[in-house]
Amino acid sequence: MIKIGIVGARGVYIAGALASMPERAKITAVCDIDEGVLKRSCERVLELGANSELPKAYRIYEDMLSSDIDAVVISTPMQCHVPQAMLALAAGKHVMCEVTAGVTMDELFWLIDSVEESGKIFMYAENYCYMPEVQLVRKLVKQGMLGDIYYGEGEYTHDCTSLCFHEGKKTWRHYWQMGTRGAFYPTHSLGPVMQCFDNDRIVSIASFSSGNHNPYDLRNDDVTQTLCQLASGKLVKVRVDTVSPRPHLMNYYQIQGTKGCFEMPRLGGEAKIAISTDEDPRGFEKWRPLSDFNDFLPERYRKNEGINAGHGGGDYYIVWDFIEAMEKNVLPELNVYKAAEWTAVALLSQLSVTNHGRVMDMPNFRAKMPWEEKKITL
């Protein structure tokens, strides 16, 4: 039985997933600086059926790390992620960390070093990668049904301006998220697309913006478009927009290959795919519902396991894979190296957009990365 502690009470969302696997893990501790939020979150763990008793409540993070927990789920503000992950790893705890992985390039290098030195599991909690449509398209790509994939794009258009203020005061998001320029929050858009490019990696990025037109005293540009060049020469485009006054569209994706393409709906409806087959060589000319190919879903999705969890069941499967990695002591797919690369798109984007779209080289994040490569190359 794996004992999990949560820092940042919003992380109790995993309780819904753990309720379906009570024999494998349970939440034994929750930590938050807000006493009222902490109390309600501990009660929420019981309501969701993850535990038979209240988890222990902590106000001080180090006190929770001194308890007998095996793993920590970090769901605090992004500027806390790396310091708290490093403390947990040093205390011998496994870590699942919310996005983004860090807020500076140096933090990403420190995080990788800490994970490698600890020998513990680090998993990036990019739950958009686990949504059913994303998993289905990835399976079709692996089957070769879209041919050779050479272009992808993702968009995260989500008006978050109300989150920048609380009771008339500026929140951390005002500074650490929308207080910076560039694609500060790219991984919801980027992760699901990059999973369709197998072991390819990003080698350079360039970001462009429409400028700042918002009335909220925010430093972030209203729209940022980032182009990512992959090692294979292929291209990925990412739009991040959390300011523009428009309905939410938090998970738009497009994948283009030599045999056809996939596209999420922009204005409602269902995801579509258009592909050529031996029986219909011109099949790429007409859209079909993605659901026509549900038989290709990974088996656990076809069983509807965790379907009631958030993000179409994605919150369930990401917790499942975290537990699986800890039980088997294997590197999770969403490991620290992917977390660093996808997060670095945001950090390098800040430099690119403030220098008129300058192309920024991406470090090759990998195991035992040489010291001399841990730098930003201009």
Q: Max Cα separation, the chain?
A: 64
- Residue 41 and residue 190: Cα distance in Å, rounded? 30
Using CA atoms, how far apart are residues 5 and 60, in angstroms rounded to an integer?
12
The alpha carbon of residue 74 and the mean position of all alpha carbons in its chain are separated, in whole angstroms, by 13
Residue whose entry in the numeric block shows the structure tokens 């960390």: 97
Tokens of 18: 């753990």
Q: Which residue in 275, 287, 251 sits closest to 141, CA to CA? A: 275
In this structure, how many other beta carbons lie within 10 angstroms of the beta carbon of residue 90?
13
Q: What pTM did the predictor assign?
A: 0.95
CA gap 23, 320 in Å, rounded? 12
pLDDT digits (tens, 9 = 90+) for 295-325: 999 888 887 666 556 666 778 899 999 999 9
Q: Does residue 371 sit in helix, strand or coil?
A: helix
**Helix (DSSP H) and strand (DSSP E) numbers for the chain:** 11, 17
State the pairing for strand pair 149-157/235-241. parallel
Q: What pLDDT, on a 0 to 100 scale, did the predictor assign at position 310?
A: 67
Contact at 8 Å (CB) between 324 and 89? no
**pLDDT (tens digit per residue) in 346-378:** 999 999 999 999 999 999 999 999 999 999 988
Closest by Cα among 216, 219, 334, 315 to 16: 315
- What domains does the chain contain, in order, with CATH numbers? 2-126 (3.40.50.720), 128-306 (3.30.360.10)
* Residue 94: exposure state from Cβ atoms within 10 A (0-12, 13-18, ≥19): buried
**Per-residue pLDDT tens listing for the chain (378 residues):** 999 999 998 889 899 888 888 899 999 999 999 999 999 999 999 888 888 899 999 999 999 999 999 999 999 999 999 999 999 999 999 999 999 999 999 999 999 999 999 999 999 999 999 999 999 999 999 999 999 999 999 999 999 999 999 888 999 999 988 899 999 999 999 999 999 998 899 999 999 999 888 888 888 899 999 999 999 999 999 999 999 999 988 889 999 999 999 999 988 889 999 999 999 999 999 999 999 999 999 888 887 666 556 666 778 899 999 999 999 999 999 999 999 999 999 999 999 999 999 999 999 999 999 999 999 988
* Chain center to CA of 140: 21
Is residue 223 within 8 A of residue 209, CB to CB? The reply is: yes
